[in-house]
Amino acid sequence: MLNSQSTNLFKNAFKRFLPNEQAISLGIFLVVCFLLIYGLSDLLMPVFVSIVFAYLLEGLVVKLEKLKVARTLAVLIVFSVFLACLCFLLLFLLPMISQQAVELAQNLPGIVGRIQAGILRLPQMYPKLISQQKISQIMSAMQNELLSYGQSIVSMSAASVVGIVSALIYLFLVPMMVFFFLKDKQIFLVWFMQFMPRERNLAERVWQEVDIQIGNYVRGKFAEVFILWVISYITFTAINLNYAMLLAVLMGISVIIPYIGATLVTFPVLIVGYLQWGFEGDDFTLLLIAYSIIQALDAVFLIPFLFSEAVNLHPAAIIIAILFFGGLWGFWGVFFAIPLATAVKAVLTAWPRMGETITDNAL
């Protein structure tokens, strides 16, 4: 009797998650894809990056096609704009960011000295709250942390040759693959579809859901990064904040990691403002107001406008996705955490429930 009940429970659970042959085929296909991506991520990461950029640019190509522009010409126009943006990034933006990062690194001893002097004054200012012994412990911890950071920088410098070679490979392979993915999209799709089962209504339904949600998210996120970077740079330059471009880029990149990124970027912005003006000046107050307005504009206007059609994910789901995919693939896992989580949710949304039949009308 007990074995019969256990068997029935197992069958019901199996039918709930894999209710028919198409679901079984799709489930196997998704597992195989995940294992291949996980196992070959280090080798094929340029391919994955190229696919993301091609997917992003495909929306612009489709818009030009709707304006009666031939596919080949539309691809050439969009790819030319992509190369122009890449050249701007490499020839203008990166050198400026590097220069400001070097200046910041050269000023680090003075910055650390000012921070230490401020910490040493705390026992005199607040004798009841903090003791000299506690200050000594804090200073010792800071020295140990700076020493570990210095050792990390040395090890990074030793591996810089490998990083330069990898960057050159990306700069050559990624644009070339992006062009071919855009130009020969139908050829790749036909080749890929031959590995799918003939009865693939469920797979098509899942892809439609994933395509809508991922497309909205990826394009919206790139637009958010660009808008926030431009607004931040204009604002920081207007108030004469040091390292304006470097901090503006950090502001733009921070939106890739929701909640966590905005929190992390707050510290360098406020620290630079404090070291430049101090707490008492009107300039630091202006920086606080401007920074708060930028974050409010992002939360109140940009996110609802750009992601109105995207899947809403619970904050806990976003944090779990960042931890999970970041643990699997490091930086790129964090970068693609939200799109991957959105894809998982889209698959679960389109997945058939127990007793549901899959027909052509389901589409």
DSSP states of 196-247 as a string?
A: S-S--HHHHHHHHHHHHHHHHHHHHHHHHHHHHHHHHHHHHHHTT-TTHHHH
Residue pointed to by tokens 């070339």: 176
More confident site: 183 or 27: 183
Structure pTM?
Answer: 0.68
More confident site: 207 or 87: 87
CA atoms of 111 and 140, how far apart (whole Å): 17
Among candidate residues 215, 220, 253, 203, the one with its CA nearest the CA of residue 342: 215
Q: What's the pLDDT band for 360 if we cut at 50, 70, 90?
A: very low
Q: Residue range 51-60: average pLDDT?
A: 84
Amino acid at 107: N
> Domains of the chain: which residue ranges?
19-109+176-199, 201-354
Q: What's the pLDDT band for 152 if we cut at 50, 70, 90?
A: low
More confident site: 242 or 351: 242
CA atoms of 357 and 199, how far apart (whole Å): 13
Residue pointed to by tokens 């992390």: 264
Token pair listed for 345:
């949710």
CA atoms of 132 and 123, how far apart (whole Å): 6
Chain-centroid distance, C-alpha 182? 22
Token pair listed for 266:
């707050």
CA atoms of 333 and 320, how far apart (whole Å): 12
* pLDDT at residue 358, as a whole number: 47
CA atoms of 353 and 308, how far apart (whole Å): 27
Does position 231 have pLDDT exceeding 90, yes or no?
Answer: yes
The region that residue 240 occupies, defined by phi over 0 for left and psi between -120 and 50 for alpha, beta otherwise, is left
CB 237 within 8 A of CB 213: no
Q: What's the pLDDT band for 233 if we cut at 50, 70, 90?
A: very high
Q: Residue range 98-111: average pLDDT?
A: 77
* pLDDT at residue 255, as a whole number: 82
Q: Residue range 218-222: average pLDDT?
A: 78
